Structure 1
Amino acid sequence: MLGVIGGSGLYDLKGLNIINEHEVKTPFGAPSAPILEGEFSDQKILFLSRHGKGHQFLPHEVNYRANIFALKKLGATKVFGVSAAGSLREEIKPGDLAMPSQYFDHTRGQRDYTFFGNGIAGHVSTAHPVCPALSGDIESAAKRLKLDIHTGKSYGCVEGPRLGTQSESFFLRDQAKCDLVGMTNVPEVFLAREAQMAYSTVCLVTDYDCWMEDPSQHVSVEKFFEVYGGALNKAQDLLAELLKSPLTETPDSIRNSLAASILTPDEAISEEQMHWLNVLRG
């Protein structure tokens, strides 16, 4: 089943026929909002608002672990993320859609980055953090809609909530070789891999961050809202088209990513920890 995580401005999903609303308790606290179970394009999906109802949580305040764990516990095996991003490349224009395949973590350690620790040692490979099968399905859906989407891009994740300096923008663009900048995909993408879930995000490009010399092109909340609505409609159309065809099976390297990643033997893991670990392994 597909889990959809909506970013800024996407607090519910237009066209979602809601079947159930789940208040999920997790060992990692509460998710950002109740998870909606429903039908969209005749397919059952789960929907979660990343920032909560009415945008309650700043990026570093989002309980990413609870969000991913709750979706997995309810049966999601794939995650389609939607998030706003700034462009660090002139050819990626405001209003465009883009899909990262790589991530550069430029956050500051305020977030809970892993399910592991406190007695469980695990090291999951994230050399290729995005699911190629799910990304390929999304790209195919975009082609059927004749919708342009930039693929294979690198996303630099910053801490926020402030908007970045021009020096930081140049660093991400020129030294880290990032194409996009945002505040929310880390650690979400890495937690999905620890939960053995396929993950891919569609970024809605709202601005040119602040690397351009022309200050009228720099990111602002006002500019964000000018562009975001149109890009959001494209993303919802893309999701509807994606669900019209069966999704490609997730590669074994993702579905079994924990098989050789946990160093702590099962007999050394407490019963309580084994309970949630088995959810991730499921």
Structure 2
Amino acid sequence: MTVYAIIGGTGLTELSGFVLHKRSALQTPYGSPSADILQGEYAGRKVLFLARHGHPHRIPPHQINYRANLWALKQAGAQAIVAVNAVGGIHSAMGSGHLCVPHQIIDYTYGREHTFFEGDIEHVTHVDFSYPYDERLRQRLIAGLVAEGYPFSSSGVYGCTQGPRLETVAEIARMERDGCDIVGMTGMPEAVLARELDLPYVCLALVVNPAAGKGAGIITMDEIEAALAEGIVKVRAVLARLLI
């Protein structure tokens, strides 16, 4: 039976209903992960859990040690990754509270440690990244969303920006022209590092605000926190469906 690792983003620093069996403070060749790897049971199944931003939430997107996080999860026995990401909505269908299972990603980040294949290596390695998300896992998430009856999009293009600031109106307009449907700050290099480790990877994105220029006014943290509080309940239900 597949051992899933859940990477919790903003709003999901802990997994309600998770029965903890073991807490591991792992070290990797790339340093320390964001938090301890929690091993336990969720929805009746063995799972691993990692808070991407630490617990408490303290590590900004551009300073997350993505390499250590993915390496530690594989070291702890993960065989597939389910990433939960809070995002802004660009496409008109992506209103606050909407859920999306993206099928593609565009990387706008810079300066992040984005590969394991560097330094003292025996040969250059190129991984195929044509389809960044595992299709089998995408379909399992989609089935869970259908079963729960939540409004969702079964595809979408995730634009990953550097952060920690939010984007300008002009940047969002550019991303929309590029074909992006949602915008976040943590989708990369997480997805490609999972691919380099041969870990099937999927994203469940929760829209917590309209992107810059897509709402009636400026984006506020109160707005984001309210959407998170409501949306994380849906996320937990869908994760449980995936694990059944």
Q: For the superposition of Structure 1 and Structure 2, which TM-score range results when normalised by the shorter chain?
A: over 0.9
Q: In the alignment, is residue 129 of structure 1 matched against residue 132 of structure 2?
A: yes
Look at both structures and tell me which one has the larger radius of gyration over its CA atoms: 1
CA distance in 2, matches of 1:187, 1:165: 22
Tell me, yes or no, if the aligned pair for 1:156 and 1:180 is still in contact at 8 Å: yes
- By percentage of residues, which structure has more helix? 1
Q: TM-score, normalised by structure 1?
A: 0.83
The residue aligned with 2:106 is: 104
Give structure 1 regions of 4+ aligned residues with deviation exceeding 6 angstroms: none
The residue aligned with 2:91 is: 89
Tell me, yes or no, if the aligned pair for 1:160 and 1:183 is still in contact at 8 Å: yes
Q: Secondary structure at the match of 2:67?
A: helix
Q: How does 1:1-282 map to 2 (within 5 A)?
A: 1-109=3-111, 111-120=112-121, 121-174=124-177, 176-212=178-214, 214-215=216-217, 218-244=218-244
CA distance in 2, matches of 1:107, 1:225: 24
Deviates more, 1:86-95 or 1:178-187: 86-95
Amino acid in structure 1 at the alignment position of 2:220: S
Q: TM-score, normalised by structure 2?
A: 0.96
- Pair 1:213–1:92, CA change in 2 (3 A): closer
The offset of 1:79, in angstroms, is 0.4
Superposed CA RMSD: 1.0
Q: For structure 1, list consecutive stretches of 5 or more residues without a partner in the other structure.
A: 245-282
The offset of 1:214, in angstroms, is 2.9
Q: For structure 2, list consecutive stretches of 5 or more residues without a partner in the other structure.
A: none
Amino acid in structure 2 at the alignment position of 1:187: P
| Superimposed CA distance per residue, residues 121-160 of structure 1 (whole angstroms, 9 cap, x where no aligned partner) | 2111101010000010111111122222212100000001
Give the share of equivalent positions with the same residue, in percent: 35
| Superimposed CA distance per residue, residues 83-127 of structure 1 (whole angstroms, 9 cap, x where no aligned partner) | 100010111111111111111011122x10000111322111101
Q: Secondary structure at the match of 1:203?
A: strand
CA distance in 2, matches of 1:221, 1:228: 10
Tell me, yes or no, if the aligned pair for 2:101 and 2:141 is still in contact at 8 Å: no
Amino acid in structure 2 at the alignment position of 1:237: A
The offset of 1:213, in angstroms, is 6.6
